[in-house]
Amino acid sequence: MVRVRFAPSPTGYVHIGSLRTALYNFLYAKKMNGSYVLRIEDTDQTRYVEGSIENLINCLVKTGIVHEEGPFIKGNDIEEIGSFGPYTQSKRLNIYNEYIEKLIEKDWAYTCFCSQDRLAEVRDQQKAKGETPKYDGKCRQLSKTEVEEKIKSGDPYVIRLKLPVDTIISFEDMVRGSIVFNTNDLDDQVLIKTDGFPTYHFAVVVDDHLMGITHIIRGEEWLPSTPKHVALYKAFKWEEPKYVHLPNILNDDKKKLSKRQGDVAVEDFLKKGYLPEALINYIALLGWSPDSEEEVFTMEELIQKFDLTRINKSGAVFDRNKLNWMNSIYIKSMENKKLVELITPYLLDTDIILETDFQEKPDYIQMIVETFKEKLNSLSDIVPLVNDLFKEEINFDDEMKEILKGESVPELVKVLTSEIERLDTVTPENIKKIFKIIQKEHGIKGKNLYMPVRVITTGETHGSDLMMIMSILGKEILLKRINSLILN
RNA sequence: GGCCCCAUGGUCAAGCGGUUAAGACACCGCCCUUUCACGGCGGUUACAGGGGUUCGAAUCCCCUUGGGGUCACCA
């Protein structure tokens, strides 16, 4: 029975890389008919951000990566479900205490009284000498009675992992193969901090074991600390899980994707109008590829196709371009009614659409969405598209001025004005009729017709379907723009 | 700097000893559309370098170079 977990710490927003880690865990669990667990790693109290657990769960649920064990949102509370709980590390302190005792008994851990100041000093000296900073092992030799006395007198202390000297520790990574370390290059990691909380390294091993986790799928930044975890499994004589270290997601500069260089928060992408399905689809393909050539997949299809052995080893640059393309595919294939629903908040962000328009002129809204649908990379793209259409000032560049100098333009303007004036409301149909009249009765057609009209009515040489655009603008604005041309 | 990981076009990537080295995004053309777009067709661009192993290396091994990660009482 496969059991995997996604174990984030509640320190704020959800990083796009975290989302991919969660996704791969989820896909693998579903593929194998196993369990996908959410665990909250909140052992650093100082980094806790209010509300981040709720935000985290919401993000996962929105993107369809839903766990079956762990914390869930119920009303205004968080409720844990599952028989391996608690799923929040700060609620498991007694468990860690119990296991650290065992470790000390086995002589795989020791109490250390070194102050942070001394540690910093040692580090600085080592760095100055060009050595790798590492705990010097001062407290390794402390006798049991010395330790007891110091504790009794109230000295603050931590518990450190007692790594064997000059020993090879190796493990198999499912995507990278055999990985070998020497303990001489490793530090005696702190396992329990002065505040009595475990560090990640200790809690992760205890919890993964107790929760029956079979596969650890996580980012490759954990690779260097994995031998410490392996040492703990050995110390406890526990069965080791399988390791799967995922390649990093990179910025354009090939460095780990970070907040400094644009959006990395899942909630930001969602806010900008990237559809959860598109985001998931794109991200699934960053570091993994199916054995077929298609690229557009539903979650269900991803589950079917997912395969740990096809995960890539090298880092992948997050390509905003391709995400845009992927998102546009999903937007175009969405039915209009659904799209109108999703895009409503963005339409309200424009300068011209009001709350009441949705009841009073649904067809008009529908027409706007239909017209711009094919031009959207994200839902928020509709805002500038609509605003630009209704811009106050129309300025012509040289190309447009050239077009307006056309021989038939004066006649075209005249007919256009009188025909539009005659209309009650402007619709694509009656604009088409007007164009027919102009073509048949005045012999103005093709580019000589469409280009000047587009330039006059929109101040652009490119854009969406002209008849739709004109209908969206409406009689009043059309005439105003045509008239202002005549005045000039 | 020590340790670890990685290396196919600008980007994502297929390839797992014998291929004209796929495909997608982006870019550039052309076609379609009496406007615009969608769409269709086509094109430019890659095995980091050097040694081996082999009849034969993008594929296996070594070295170099380059990039990344990590070295906390953070995860």
Instruction: Tell me: do A157 and A47 sit in the same domain.
Output: no
Q: Cβ(A20)–Cβ(A286) under 8 Å?
A: yes
CATH number of the domain enclosing A375: 1.10.8
> Which own/partner pairs from A381-390 qualify as long-range (CB within 8 Å, at least 24 positions apart)?
A381/A273, A382/A343, A382/A346, A382/A347, A382/A350, A383/A346, A383/A349, A383/A350, A386/A347, A386/A350, A386/A351, A386/A352, A386/A353, A387/A350, A387/A351, A387/A352, A389/A458, A389/A469, A389/A472, A389/A473, A390/A351, A390/A352, A390/A473, A390/A477
Whole-number distance in Å between A242 CA and B41 C1': 48
Instruction: Tell me: do A364 and A428 sit in the same domain.
Output: no
Do the domain assignments include residue A323?
no
Whole-number distance in Å between A401 CA and B34 C1': 22
What is the Cα–Cα distance from A431 to A434, expressed in whole angstroms? Answer: 5
Whole-number distance in Å between A287 CA and B25 C1': 15
Instruction: Tell me: do A238 and A111 sit in the same domain.
Output: yes
Do the domain assignments include residue A148?
yes
Highest mean pLDDT among A153-167, A406-420, A460-474: A153-167
**Domain end among A205, A225, A246:** A246
Q: Cβ(A323)–Cβ(A371) under 8 Å?
A: no
pLDDT tens by residue, A380-394: 999 999 999 998 888
Instruction: Tell me: do A432 and A382 sit in the same domain.
Output: no
What is the Cα–Cα distance from A223 to A233, expressed in whole angstroms? Answer: 16
Find residue A218's DSSP bridge partners. Answer: A245
> How high is the ipTM of this complex?
0.95
Do the domain assignments include residue A83?
no
Do the domain assignments include residue A159?
yes
Confidence of residue A238 (pLDDT cuts 50, 70, 90): very high
Report chain A's mean pLDDT, rounded to a whole number.
Answer: 94
**Minimum-distance nucleotide, CA of A312 to C1':** B13
CB of A462 lies under 7 Å from some atom of strand B? yes
Q: Residue A26 corresponds to which amino acid?
A: F
pLDDT at A444: 86
Query: Which residue stretches of A47-152 are H helix?
Result: 52-62, 93-105, 116-128, 144-152
Spell A114-142 as b/e; 16+ CB within 10 A means b.
beeeebeebbeeeeeeeeeeebebebeeb
What is the Cα–Cα distance from A32 to A70, expressed in whole angstroms? Answer: 19
pLDDT above 90: residue A130: no
Residue nearest to nucleotide B1 (CA to C1'): A130
pLDDT at A488: 60
* All residues at 6 or more sequence positions from A120 whose CB lies less than 8 Å from its CB, including other chains: none
Q: Cβ(A58)–Cβ(A52) under 8 Å?
A: no
pLDDT tens by residue, A152-177: 999 999 999 999 999 999 999 999 99
Q: For residues A251-267, give the mean pLDDT.
A: 87
Nucleic chain B contacts, protein chain A, residues 329-348, CB cut-off 7 A = 332
CA dihedral A110, A114, A118, A124 (to 10 degrees): 10
Nucleic chain B contacts, protein chain A, residues 189-218, CB cut-off 7 A = 190, 193-195, 197, 199-201
CB of A179 lies under 7 Å from some atom of strand B? yes
CB of A236 lies under 7 Å from some atom of strand B? no
**Minimum-distance nucleotide, CA of A197 to C1':** B73
CB of A358 lies under 7 Å from some atom of strand B? no
Query: Which structural domain range is residue A416 located in?
Result: 398-487
Do the domain assignments include residue A325?
no
CATH number of the domain enclosing A472: 1.10.10.350
**Domain end among A229, A246, A263:** A246
CB of A429 lies under 7 Å from some atom of strand B? no
pLDDT at A93: 97
CATH number of the domain enclosing A34: 3.40.50.620
pLDDT above 80: residue A487: no
Closest CA to A193 of A106, A52, A96: A96
Structural domain count of chain A: 4
Lowest-confidence segment of A288-292, A301-305, A314-318, A396-400 by average pLDDT: A396-400
Instruction: Tell me: do A133 and A165 sit in the same domain.
Output: yes
Instruction: Tell me: do A69 and A19 sit in the same domain.
Output: yes
| Percent of chain A residues past pLDDT 90, beyond the cut | 84
State the residue for tokens 């539009």: A420
pLDDT at A13: 93
Distances (CA, A) of A274 to A123, A328, A343, A372: 46, 9, 11, 16
Whole-number distance in Å between A128 CA and B48 C1': 35
CB of A322 lies under 7 Å from some atom of strand B? yes
Instruction: Tell me: do A440 and A407 sit in the same domain.
Output: yes
pLDDT above 80: residue A261: no
**Minimum-distance nucleotide, CA of A290 to C1':** B14
Q: Cβ(A3)–Cβ(A35) under 8 Å?
A: yes
Nucleic chain B contacts, protein chain A, residues 262-281, CB cut-off 7 A = none
Number of Cβ within 10 Å of residue A207's Cβ equals 23
CB-count exposure of residue A163 (10 Å: 0-12, 13-18, 19+)? buried
Cα A206 to the center of its chain, rounded Å: 29
Residue nearest to nucleotide B10 (CA to C1'): A252
**Encoding tokens for residue A153?**
């007198």
Find residue A245's DSSP bridge partners. Answer: A218
Q: State which nucleotides on strand B lie below 7 Å from a protein beta carbon.
A: 1-8, 10-16, 22-26, 34-38, 67-75
CB of A224 lies under 7 Å from some atom of strand B? yes
**Minimum-distance nucleotide, CA of A204 to C1':** B75
The three state secondary structure string of A380-404 is HHHHHHHHHHCCCCCCCCHHHHHHH
pLDDT above 80: residue A339: yes
pLDDT tens by residue, A392-402: 888 888 888 88
Q: Cβ(A287)–Cβ(A80) under 8 Å?
A: no
Residue A70 region by backbone torsions, left for phi larger than 0, else alpha for psi between -120 and 50, else beta: left
Whole-number distance in Å between A266 CA and B68 C1': 23
CB of A474 lies under 7 Å from some atom of strand B? no
Do the domain assignments include residue A84?
no
Residue A351 region by backbone torsions, left for phi larger than 0, else alpha for psi between -120 and 50, else beta: alpha
Instruction: Tell me: do A107 and A236 sit in the same domain.
Output: yes
As a whole number of angstroms, the longest Cα–Cα distance in chain A is 109
CB of A376 lies under 7 Å from some atom of strand B? no
What is the Cα–Cα distance from A243 to A31, expressed in whole angstroms? Answer: 17
> What residues of A are annotated to the active site?
259
Do the domain assignments include residue A195?
yes
Distances (CA, A) of A177 to A242, A307, A360: 11, 16, 63
Nucleic chain B contacts, protein chain A, residues 4-23, CB cut-off 7 A = 7-9, 11
pLDDT above 70: residue A471: yes
Instruction: Tell me: do A253 and A301 sit in the same domain.
Output: yes
Find residue A242's DSSP bridge partners. Answer: A215
CB-count exposure of residue A427 (10 Å: 0-12, 13-18, 19+)? middle
CB of A117 lies under 7 Å from some atom of strand B? no
Instruction: Tell me: do A109 and A182 sit in the same domain.
Output: yes
Q: H or E segment at A417? A: helix A409-421
Instruction: Tell me: do A21 and A44 sit in the same domain.
Output: yes
Number of Cβ within 10 Å of residue A318's Cβ equals 22
Do the domain assignments include residue A417?
yes
Whole-number distance in Å between A293 CA and B23 C1': 6
Instruction: Tell me: do A309 and A361 sit in the same domain.
Output: no
The answer to whether A259 is a known ligand-binding residue is yes
Residue A63 region by backbone torsions, left for phi larger than 0, else alpha for psi between -120 and 50, else beta: alpha
Q: Cβ(A324)–Cβ(A378) under 8 Å?
A: yes
CB of A155 lies under 7 Å from some atom of strand B? no
**Minimum-distance nucleotide, CA of A194 to C1':** B73
**Minimum-distance nucleotide, CA of A451 to C1':** B35
